[in-house]
């Protein structure tokens, strides 16, 4: 198990193969990567040039560990990896990565979605969109809260 | 009682500080009182608690959802709703 908060980029495919290696208990691997994407329905002059990621050092790592532990209580998981970048990111850069390894696919699929839904609402990261002319903090989305709440049922 | 306050993201920009160590008056022993004490400082501190800013609070790196007792040496953070991932 591993949690990383870093400014450098990452390659989930490489990490996934390293985690799988000779562990014959693993029958399923699910990975998710979130990327910096362009803004929709904005004029070119207001298009994103970069994204700035701020976080709360210490609490960030703690909350990611807690999210991973919650997932491990709900599903049978062999291994989990969570990476989140901070600092200045460019368009197309990966921001966040999650890998979940388990014996069966359902555990891996569900745990990966669960981890992302909790990460988006409980891990203290904040995004600032930087365009050619100005910058603004991203507003939290109510839909993200709904995505997390679906796991309470 | 001495506590450390931390500010992040938009809240940090409003306040103009990323952290401060303050000595609270003896009347301030819980979060609601701290909030009123900070609002009484005026300026940006009253602004961060406007409902539209939906400022969140963490006590010793735990997200808080209701009033809590403050102890000396606590680390209390204020920040906007989370937008990572």
State mean pLDDT over A9-26.
Answer: 96
pLDDT on residue B7 = 98
Interface of A with B in 54-83 (CB under 8 A): 54-56, 58-59, 62-63
Whether pTM exceeds 0.95: no
3-state secondary structure chain B: CEEEEEECHHHHHHHCCCEEEEECCCCCCEHHHHHHHHHCCCHHHHHHCCHHHCCEEEECCEEECCCCECCCCCEEEEECCCCCC
Residue A105 has pLDDT above 80, yes or no: yes
State mean pLDDT over A106-133.
Answer: 96
Sheet (strand B19-23) strand order: B19-23, B2-7, B75-79, B56-59, B62-64
Quick check: ipTM above 0.90? yes
CB contact under 8 A, A120 and B84: yes
* pLDDT tens string B27-85: 999 999 999 999 999 989 899 999 888 999 999 999 999 999 999 999 999 999 999 99
Average pLDDT, chain A: 95
CATH code of the domain made up of B2-79: 3.10.20.30
pLDDT on residue A137 = 95
CATH code of the domain made up of A2-143: 3.90.1170.40
């Amino acid at each position: 198990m591993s949690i990383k908060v870093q400014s450098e980029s990452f390659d989930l495919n490489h990490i996934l193969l390293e985690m799988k290696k000779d562990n014959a208990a693993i029958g399923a691997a699910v990975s998710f990567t979130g990327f910096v994407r362009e803004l929709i329905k904005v004029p070119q002059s207001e298009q994103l040039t970069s994204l700035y990621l701020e976080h709360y050092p210490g609490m960030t790592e703690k909350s990611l560990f807690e999210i991973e532990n919650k997932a491990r209580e709900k599903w049978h998981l062999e291994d989990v990896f969570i990476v989140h970048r901070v600092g200045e990111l460019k368009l197309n850069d990966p921001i966040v990565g999650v890998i979940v390894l388990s014996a069966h696919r359902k555990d891996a699929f569900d745990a990966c979605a669960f981890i992302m839904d909790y990460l988006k609402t409980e891990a203290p990261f904040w995004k600032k969109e930087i365009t050619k002319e100005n910058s603004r903090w991203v507003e939290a989305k109510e839909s993200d809260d709904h995505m997390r709440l679906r796991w309470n049922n | 009682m001495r506590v450390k306050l931390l500010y992040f993201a938009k809240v940090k920009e409003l306040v103009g500080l990323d952290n401060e160590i303050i000595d609270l008056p003896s009347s301030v022993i819980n979060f609601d009182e701290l909030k009123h004490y900070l609002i009484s400082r005026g300026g940006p501190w009253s602004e961060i608690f406007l409902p539209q800013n939906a400022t969140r609070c963490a006590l010793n790196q735990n997200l808080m959802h209701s009033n809590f007792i403050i102890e000396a040496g606590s680390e209390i953070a204020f920040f906007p709703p989370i937008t990572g991932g």
